[in-house]
Structure 1
Amino acid sequence: MSAQSTGATSKKSRNYIFEIHFLRAFACIAVVGVHVTATHYYANEQTWHWFTYFLNQLGRFGTTTFAVISGFLLFYQVKRKGFEMGSFLKSRFSKILMPFLIWSLVYRVLTYHYDNQAAGDLWEELKKILMGESFYHLYFVAIVVQFYFIFPFIQKLFRTKTLMLVFAFIALIISYKFFGFNPGIEGALGEFLASKTFMPIWVFYFAFGGVLAYFWEEIVRFATKRPWQMLALALIISAGAVVEYKVTGQVSNRRLTNLINLPLLCIATIGIYPLLSKWRVINKPLKLIGQYSMGIYLIHPMILYLFANHMPKHYWTVANVPLMFAAVMLIAVLFIRILQFIPLSGFIIPVPKIKKSKRTVQSEFVENKVQKSA
């Protein structure tokens, strides 16, 4: 293999590992920010301060970004290694379904203990789990699980760059059409079809993750060559989000504007990586948050829930919001690290490994030299 070829391969390895963890980190920070400020809102008699409201609304990009990342990881794996049903089912069961079920039970016990929510009959409890209603954040994992049911068929139909663009276009129409969908059906089925857990509302974000996977090298090359332009784009989108909630009022993570904003914001965030990676004090924590993002997503509402039940009221001030955010992140990371010493902890909280191949180590060495010389 030539030096040029080795360098190209090293760059591919580095890009896949670091830019995606970087995007994960920002999605994770946004989601935690939404929930910290929402907890502060309820602790203050459902009153917003302009600062907490700003953070809450700006963080509404986080969950949809996680949907993009979920789609990316699935399609990127197929692109690189093909698809094998047995491996897919085993991987999804151990990394997503088992943690989802375990944490659904954990949160059900917490609400039973603190809120005196009595257990219903078996069907009601099962429906609550399947709908992701055991706690307020688990609905998104239920959406991801729904996408797993159609993914084996989707990946078989759309396996080229052109077909992936076709899938993204079809998915865009579906997500647009199902916005505010009312099936006019009564009962459990009607509730599900009209709920935020209904996956077709989110399918475009998974599809864009597929576009990102199939055009990964081209997108990274384009975005990382223009870091300052990408930073400007991210700031423009953020400013637009502020204008949107100022004009229309409180917005959700399923708003129609995200169909345009999210793809642009994801590409912009990837392009910003070369700027922030020069700062070790920023780069290292973001990589760690990105690596632990799934665990942080599962754990942080429990930490906030315990804070809300045990922390004295006078601590719930606006000035303490940044400290509370930092405390939640730190406790979550420490919890995950301790849990990793327990056998089979991956079934409770999956932590993706950053593989230290020879090529990756060489890439990191070059990256560190660039940082020192900058």
Structure 2
Amino acid sequence: MIYLENRKPIHRIFISIQGRAALKTKAYLEEVQILRGLAFIGVAFQHTLGPFMNQQGLGKSDAILLTILFNLAKFAVPLFVFMTGMVIFYNYYDTLEYPKFIVRRTKEVIIPYLVWSLIYVFHGVPFPQDFLLFIKDVSQKILTGSTYYHLWFLVMIYQFYIVYPCFRSVAKQLEPRLRSEKSLILLMVSLGAVYLGLTWLSSSVIPRLDNLGGMPQFWSFFSEYRDRTFIFWFFYFVLGGLAGLTVNQWRNWVEKTFLANSLLCLLLFTRVTYEMWMQSYPTPAGYVVNFNVSTSLKPSMALFSISAIIFLYGLTLRWTQKSNRVMEYLDRLGKHSFGAYLVHALTLEYTARVVYKFMQPLAITPKIVIILAGCVICAYYFSVLISQTPLAAYVVGSGAKRKNSSSGPNVPRSTPSM
């Protein structure tokens, strides 16, 4: 397994892989499922806040609260991508049978994605009169992840499965050159700078080019759907891959830098929240909060997301040292986060309907708490129930059932990273 003892120096961060392939299992990483659970809660939290940020009549205090809460949850998607990189590199760096790998990922991700795309297409929509036009429209939406607001992520993450051999090949070619701490730091700083440049292009340059008009059709397509292109998320995947290849060194480094990074994370959070608030403004109908300002594809938010991932990882390592109910719940939620993610848009909608119908007088904060709790709990139990049925592989992915039945100290972690 890719596992290094604490006493080994950092210049051994990439060691010879001879002999590792003989090991059949890898150590159970307790933090993986907890981080997945946190990431899912973060996604559900963002989507819970969306309708509140769009409503009219927001007071200043409510607008400030929503701005703070929304940015607190922005770590979610980058963390999911990070965990994808960590799990894949952890399991498939030494040996990779690509045909089996991609077939398995297709079954576990794409089939449930197609099923839920159709569920959301027909949800609350009358049967179309022009069936051929309907098929064309749905096909385009499925290809671009546009059938519902949260499904774009699966289109993006599946691209990493497709191109993973390229990342793996580059990592293996770089192994001989990364024998020192300085070399590794230089590489990650360089990749980070490239990624920040990409986010700058996405947030500052591409929108201006779009406003010029007369751009080629291909450019318009790329610009519109760049948020679901793996290139614009690659650094989180690479960072996760580094963590997966050097588990103990990564843990030690996260622990060692925890306090300093916590302060940095707070400063970066203050920065992105200030940026968002400065784009909010009062109107006669109340404050308008533009949550599109806090896009993940801009430099300040990318820096905050990287710092937040490291902070949450360190926090999770500390939590896992103590057994408690919260950790148990997060672990269970993490095991079923893929199915919960797929269904949570529905559980969110119906929970919100109940709250708005029967709890309208409540203030905004208790409404948010109740809707978020209802969304997460219902989505979790839906995934748990479906995972026990013959429909599991088609609805919530076969990974949930396999993870639920796995036990023991040595469990391969090769299931979908949602």
* Bigger relative contact order (CA 8 A; separation at least 6): 2
Cα deviation for residue 256 of structure 1 reads 1.4
Give CA deviations for 1:136-189 in whole Å, capped at 9, x if unaligned.
Answer: 111111111223332222222222555787488447515623423357734366
Q: d(CA) in 2 for partners of 1:226 and 1:118?
A: 59
Q: d(CA) in 1 for partners of 2:326 and 2:307?
A: 23
1:20 aligns with 2:50: no
Partner of 1:295: 339
Partner of 2:217: 187
1:333 aligns with 2:380: yes
Partner of 2:329: 285
Task: Judge conservation of contact 2:79–2:309 (CA < 8 Å) in 1.
Answer: yes
Most deviating of 215-224 and 180-189? 180-189
Most deviating of 215-224 and 45-54? 45-54
After TM superposition, the structure 1 = structure 2 runs for residues 1-374 of structure 1, keeping only pairs within 5 Å, are 16-42=28-54, 44-45=55-56, 47=58, 49=62, 50-79=64-93, 81-113=94-126, 120-159=133-172, 166=187, 169-170=190-191, 172-173=193-194, 176-177=197-198, 178-180=201-203, 181=206, 182=209, 185-187=215-217, 190-195=220-225, 196-224=227-255, 232=263, 234-247=265-278, 250-277=293-320, 278=322, 280-308=324-352, 312-313=356-357, 315-316=359-360, 317=362, 318=364, 319-350=366-397, 351=400, 353=403, 355-358=406-409
Q: d(CA) in 2 for partners of 1:136 and 1:357?
A: 37
What letter corresponds to residue 292 of structure 1 in structure 2? H
Identity %: 20
Task: Judge conservation of contact 1:72–1:212 (CA < 8 Å) in 2.
Answer: yes
Q: d(CA) in 2 for partners of 1:118 and 1:132?
A: 22
Q: d(CA) in 2 for partners of 1:205 and 1:168?
A: 13
Question: What 5-or-longer segments of structure 2 have no aligned partner?
Answer: 9-19, 179-183, 281-292, 412-418
Number of equivalenced pairs? 349
SS at match of 2:407: coil
SS at match of 1:60: coil
Task: Judge conservation of contact 1:174–1:201 (CA < 8 Å) in 2.
Answer: yes
Give CA deviations for 1:226-267 in whole Å, capped at 9, x if unaligned.
Answer: 666665555444444433433455411222123323332222
Q: d(CA) in 2 for partners of 1:224 and 1:117?
A: 59
The structure having more radius of gyration, on CA atoms, is 2
Provide TM-score, normalisation by structure 1. 0.80
Provide TM-score, normalisation by structure 2. 0.72
Q: d(CA) in 2 for partners of 1:117 and 1:294?
A: 34
Give CA deviations for 1:59-80 in whole Å, capped at 9, x if unaligned.
Answer: 122112111112222222222x
Give CA deviations for 1:174-216 in whole Å, capped at 9, x if unaligned.
Answer: 5623423357734366223443223322222222222222232
Q: d(CA) in 2 for partners of 1:239 and 1:152?
A: 38
